[in-house]
């Protein structure tokens, strides 16, 4: 394989996502994708019946998520690969782990797997995380099912030393009004501003409803703004025939994004 030192972080992540030929259909699909133009996250509505609780899934696109948090470190990666060759080891988490153990480190390296978490990422990842003596954080990271490429070494961006662990954080927001819900555990979608129902507790309807008109939401006829003015809420989430979910406040389309809003 030719030297990878000139690759950008984005190129390395694309190469990792494409993987090898063993997962042919996924590979073919990935090859045709332009990752950059993919949305950062999508909201998928589960099959639901009238009057049931809102079943949905938010999927965060791994490409964007990794690119926002990591910086490819070709020198570190080269050192890891040289280590494997010297020791006669394959490129896998085990060799990555012994490589990291042999480095100077400030904090005890640890392995993270998103496999058994209530994870929102589009693909499962495994990584070893450690901080060096200058307090710079690094990972050697592998995408599940992409074992011919094996783990790759990255620096964790300075402002992402927590964000690299937030694979269960996301938000759902209305494209029209300011309503939003956020999750830190991938399960409970707490309303922004703290009042109202959690998103997964709304009941769904297949029938379009009447929504308060924008004027009624945005303006009051009274000269004084009442602090306890309730947020308009019809109490149900309308799922249309294209499986788009609509805001219970104004009927706008609900959209997902990787970061908690607000
Ligand atoms: Zn809305």
Tens of pLDDT, residues 138-150: 999 999 876 668 8
- pTM of the complete model: 0.85
81-117: pLDDT as tens digits: 999 999 999 999 999 999 999 988 888 899 999 988 7
- pLDDT greater than 60 at residue 43: yes
Nearest to 12 by CA among 60, 59, 76, 58: 76
Measure 247 CA to ligand 1 centroid, in angstroms: 5
Distance 65 CA to ligand 1 centre (A): 26
Helix H or strand E segment including 75: helix 74-87
Residues within 5 Å of ion ligand 1 by Cβ?
174, 176-177, 179, 247, 249-250, 252
Give the integer Cα–Cα distance in Å for 76 and 136: 13
Cα distances (Å, whole numbers) of residue 36 to 62, 69, 244: 11, 15, 23
CA of 41 to the centre of ligand 1 (A): 19
Interval 147-174 mean pLDDT: 90
Q: Above pLDDT 70, what percent of the chain?
A: 84
Average pLDDT over every residue of 160-167: 90
d(CA 187, ligand 1 centre) in Å: 21
pLDDT class of 262 with cuts at 50, 70, 90:
very low
Local confidence band at 47 (pLDDT 50, 70, 90 cut-offs)? confident
Which pLDDT value is given to residue 224?
A: 55
**Ligand 1 centroid from CA 119, angstroms:** 26
User: What is the phi-psi region of residue 251: left when phi exceeds 0, alpha when psi lies from -120 to 50, beta otherwise?
Assistant: left
Q: How far from 46 is each of 55, 57, 169, 173, CA to CA, in Å?
A: 5, 7, 19, 18
Could you count the other beta carbons within 10 Å of the beta carbon of residue 137?
A: 20
Whether 220 shows a pLDDT value over 60: the answer reads no
Distance from the CA of 66 to the center of ligand 1, in angstroms? 30
Given a contact cutoff of 8 angstroms between Cβ atoms, the answer to whether 127 and 143 are in contact is: no
Position 196 confidence tier, pLDDT thresholds 50, 70, 90: confident
CA of 191 from ligand 1 middle (Å) equals 12
95 within 8 A of 79, measured Cβ to Cβ: no
Give the per-residue pLDDT at 4. Answer: 46
Joined tokens for residue 202: 């709304």
Angle at 91 between CA 81 and CA 6, to 5 degrees: 45
How many angstroms is it from 46 CA to the middle of ligand 1?
Answer: 20
């Amino acid at each position: 394989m030719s030297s990878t030192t000139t690759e950008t972080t984005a190129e390395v992540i694309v190469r990792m996502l494409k993987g090898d030929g063993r997962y042919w259909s996924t590979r073919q699909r990935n090859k045709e994708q332009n990752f950059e133009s993919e949305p950062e996250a999508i909201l998928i509505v589960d099959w639901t019946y009238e009057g049931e609780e809102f079943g949905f899934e938010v999927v965060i696109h791994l490409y964007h998520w990794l690119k926002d948090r990591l910086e490819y470190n070709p020198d570190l990666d080269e050192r890891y690969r040289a280590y494997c060759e010297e020791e006669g080891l394959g490129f896998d988490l085990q060799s990555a782990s012994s490589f990291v153990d042999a480095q100077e480190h400030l904090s005890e390296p640890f392995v993270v797997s998103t496999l058994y978490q209530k994870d929102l990422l589009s693909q499962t990842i495994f990584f070893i995380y450690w901080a060096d003596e200058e307090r710079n954080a690094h990972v050697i990271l592998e995408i599940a099912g992409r074992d011919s490429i094996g783990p790759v070494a990255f620096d964790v961006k300075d402002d992402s030393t927590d964000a690299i662990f937030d694979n269960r954080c996301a938000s759902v927001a209305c494209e029209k009004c300011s309503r939003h819900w956020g999750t830190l555990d991938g399960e409970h979608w707490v309303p922004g501003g703290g009042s109202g129902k959690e998103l997964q507790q709304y009941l769904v309807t297949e029938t379009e409803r009447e929504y308060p008109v924008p004027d009624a939401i945005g303006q009051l006829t009274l000269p004084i703004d009442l602090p306890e003015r309730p947020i308009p809420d019809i109490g149900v989430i309308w799922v249309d025939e294209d499986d788009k979910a609509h805001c219970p406040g104004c009927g706008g389309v609900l959209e997902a994004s990787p970061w908690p809003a607000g």
